Amino acid sequence: MAKQHRNRKQRGPHRTATRPSRGQSSPRREPAELGPLIGPLRQGLRAADPTAFWVTAAPIVTVLEEPGELSAQLPDGVDLLQSFIDVDVAETTALLHMVAAMSRDDLLRGRSRRALTSRRQPIPPEVTGLSQARVTGTQVFGDGGGDNHLVELTLPGGVRATLLAYVARFPHLYLKDAFVMGERLDQVQERYTQILAVEGYDFADAVRTLDPAQTRASLEHALAGIRPDVAKKPEEGDQWPMLRPFVEFVLSLLPEGGEGYDQRGWLVGQGPGALRAGGLGGFGADWDDWDDDDSIPWDEAAEFALDDEFDWGEDPPWIDEDGTDLAELFLSSPQAADLEQGSRAAMLVRYLMVLSADLTDDPLVWDPDVVRGVLEDVLPTDPLIPPEMVDEVTVVLPALVAWAHHITEVDPDLTEAVRLMMTPLLTELPSRRSDPLARVMRSEALVDIALSSGDAGVFELALLAQRVGGNTELQDLDSEPLPLEQLDLDAAPDDVIEQMQEIDAALVAGLERVGGGQLDLGDAVLDVEFRTACRRFLTQVATRDASALRRRASARTTAVAVAWIVGRGNELVGHLPAPVRTGELLRAFGVKSTPSSRAGTLMRAAVLPQDHLGVSLGSPDLLVGSARAAIMGHRDRLLEDQPDA
């Protein structure tokens, strides 16, 4: 026992020491069912990282909303939330703050808030401040496979954090991953700047600020796309998918009203991201003998895409570590005995191995996910594979899968399962490739590749091909006038037919005011042909996405939007040298402002290609004879300038 200082006066006990001890004399014990939960909460609450508790507590919020089997472990009449309420410790108090801020259940939120009124533990601001959190920055940058969304969160007490959410486009649009970092947005930007610089990208050129409402709509679309076949399996150290309640909470802080992603998986109004993944290629073979309606139209752009943009160097994926050519090994195997041998077969095998290596880093991995991804997503939208090669996939791929499974000693049951899954997908491949959306995606990719070639002539030819729907259409184009046609209602859903008829009547009335000389245009440029093109476009909208016609919009507004789209696509409306100014068209229809929002909705519904220089209608069926004649003349002049034309 320590000696007492001789000059120190004897004091009686402090007043608080004479009071009954509540917590110390009879401490509340944590119920057994909460034991596995309290420990991680305690660690998260004590961590230096302000986001640690969010990450730990978010999945518990989900469990509270849907307790499942845990309910059976609780006493009768007691639910899991009540168990946390009954244990008055800092960890449960912090959890109640999380529930009060982000639970989707109104009853759980209300009970948590009432319980918090009697809690007195000191809780850090990153937890208590959740109810006052606000979003202070929303940005995005993307590549060919998806978009990275950055959302900065600011709480009282100077707490800053950034949510990072990755939206994948393959095999469909969905939220693939998300995590939160206890860093400001500018700090996260610096991280990415360094990471991407190593890979040869300039982050500053790729990232862009995104409207907060658009961020919310985009991530809500991506959340809705999560299906069992793509749902991420939790791994040690991962935050997703356990972080989902926190992601939904952050989105609730953003305004509504954004349009999100379009049918092609690109942000509405934004187009493809700046960090493009580059086309597949570099197969060491000559594609120029193949006559194809969708592949790259001219040698220079194809050469660039196949050799420069995706250069495999001395180690292409079909060459094994010991120098073995896996493509040749397969073609000499019993599994390939019935295949037609030659350079075309070797090219196709190498191409398929590149796809597998691109998806899995191994050219011999052909599990169900890879097979489905190649047949459902890659082959329908890849612009560099000719149609003849697509046809041969139906016989080559099954043999390649059987061989790859054989040499890698895959369980025969899995091989059979892959074969059964693959058979209907191979049958559906031609229809997937001819789907309007797939055709548009191929044409857009070709324009991107042509632009990257640095050859202005190649780029202009690719744009012309996009305007008419493909290379074959561009080569076979004629200038015959469109006939007069009535509005085709045969394939339209019944519930939009009346709306279509009203739009058509407004269209005819407006075009008559244009063609009747009221605008003093001289020749009637928006005549019978133009009316037919507009009616065809309206039918295309109805048959591809009729929901665009079910939205609130007057028939006159939709009619002028149709005329503006078709007029721009035919270069008859807009800036000079177009003969009709946009303002003149609006006056003819009695509309005061440009219906840009309505036009955007209709163009997306019609699945038109994205054209940052104007409007591409994507089909000769929507082009009047004079527009097709102008395209033919431009095509011929450009081809004359091509060295190998």
- pLDDT digits 0-9 by tens, 563-578: 999 999 998 987 767 7
- The burial of 422, by beta-carbon neighbours within 10 Å (0-12 exposed, 13-18 middle, 19 or more buried), is given as buried
Supply φ then ψ for residue 102, to 5 degrees: -125, 0
E strand or H helix at 638: helix 625-641
| 377 falls within a domain | yes
If one counts every other C-beta atom within 10 angstroms of the C-beta of residue 534, the result is 25
Whether a cis peptide bond, with omega within 30° of 0, leads into 241 is yes
- Whether residues 320 and 408 share a domain: the answer is yes
**pLDDT at site 497:** 94
pLDDT in tens, 406-445: 999 999 999 999 999 999 999 999 999 988 888 888 888 8
User: How many separate domains does the chain show?
Assistant: 4
Q: Do residues 638 and 454 lie in contact, with contact meaning Cβ atoms separated by under 8 Å?
A: no
- Whether residues 379 and 421 share a domain: the answer is yes
The rounded radius of gyration (Å) of the Cα atoms in the chain is 32
pLDDT in tens, 380-417: 988 888 877 888 999 999 999 999 999 999 999 999 99
If one counts every other C-beta atom within 10 angstroms of the C-beta of residue 411, the result is 9
Give residue 418's domain range. 315-434
CA 582/CA 642 separation, integer angstroms: 36
pLDDT in tens, 333-376: 999 888 887 778 888 999 899 888 888 888 999 999 899 999 99
- Whether residues 191 and 78 share a domain: the answer is no
- Tokens for 92? 């449960």
Three-state SS across 433-479?
Answer: HHCHHHHHHHHHHHHHHHHHCCCHHHHHHHHHHHHHCCHHHHHCCCC
**pLDDT at site 298:** 35
- Whether residues 125 and 216 share a domain: the answer is no
- Whether residues 394 and 342 share a domain: the answer is yes
Q: What are the DSSP calls for 224-267, one per residue?
A: HT--TTTPPPP-TT--TTTTHHHHHHHHHTS-S----B-TTSSB
The Cα-based distances of 175 to 57, 168, 372, 398 in angstroms read 21, 6, 19, 31
| 558 falls within a domain | yes
Q: Do residues 464 and 631 lie in contact, with contact meaning Cβ atoms separated by under 8 Å?
A: yes
Whether a cis peptide bond, with omega within 30° of 0, leads into 577 is yes
Phi-psi region of 200 (alpha: psi -120 to 50; beta: other; left: phi over 0): left
Pick from 130, 151, 173: which residue ends a domain? 130
| 293 falls within a domain | no
Q: How many alpha carbons fall within 13 Å on the CB side of residue 499? A: 20
CA 626/CA 379 separation, integer angstroms: 35
CA 373/CA 172 separation, integer angstroms: 10
E runs forming strands in 156-243? 159-168, 174-181, 208-209
- Whether residues 81 and 155 share a domain: the answer is no
Highest mean pLDDT among 131-145, 243-257, 310-324: 243-257
How many whole angstroms from its chain centre is CA 210? 15
218's CB contacts (< 8 A; 6+ apart) are 140, 147, 149, 167, 210, 258, 260, 261, 267
| 549 falls within a domain | yes
In degrees, rounded to 5, the angle at the alpha carbon of residue 366 between the alpha carbons of residues 360 and 367 is 90
Residue 540, classed as helix, strand or coil, is helix
Q: Per-residue confidence at 288, pLDDT binned at 50, 70, 90?
A: very low
Q: Give the amino acid at 440.
A: V
Mean pLDDT across the chain, nearest whole number?
80
- Per DSSP, what are the bridge partners of residue 461? none
- Whether residues 55 and 162 share a domain: the answer is no
- Whether residues 164 and 119 share a domain: the answer is no
pLDDT in tens, 500-525: 999 999 999 999 888 554 444 434 46
Asked if pLDDT for residue 456 goes beyond 70, the answer is yes
Pick from 402, 434, 466: which residue ends a domain? 434
| 617 falls within a domain | yes
Pick from 236, 252, 268: which residue ends a domain? 252
- Whether residues 616 and 510 share a domain: the answer is yes
Q: How many alpha carbons fall within 13 Å on the CB side of residue 96? A: 26
- Tokens for 380? 């329908």
CA 569/CA 627 separation, integer angstroms: 9
Identify which has the larger pLDDT, 158 or 74: 158
CA 96/CA 494 separation, integer angstroms: 51
- Whether residues 160 and 81 share a domain: the answer is no
The order of strands in the sheet holding 159-168 is 174-181, 159-168, 146-155, 134-143, 208-209
| 517 falls within a domain | yes
E strand or H helix at 268: none
Supply φ then ψ for residue 36, to 5 degrees: -65, -15
**In angstroms, how far is the first alpha carbon of the chain from the final one?**
104
**pLDDT at site 235:** 67
CA 168/CA 147 separation, integer angstroms: 7
Whether a cis peptide bond, with omega within 30° of 0, leads into 171 is yes
Supply φ then ψ for residue 344, to 5 degrees: -65, -40
- Whether residues 66 and 171 share a domain: the answer is no
Q: Give the amino acid at 16.
A: T
Q: Are strands 146-155 and 134-143 parallel, antiparallel or unpaired?
A: antiparallel
| 550 falls within a domain | yes
If one counts every other C-beta atom within 10 angstroms of the C-beta of residue 448, the result is 20
If one counts every other C-beta atom within 10 angstroms of the C-beta of residue 69, the result is 6
CA 645/CA 641 separation, integer angstroms: 7
CA 396/CA 392 separation, integer angstroms: 6
| 145 falls within a domain | yes
pLDDT in tens, 581-620: 888 888 899 887 777 778 888 998 999 987 756 788 999 9
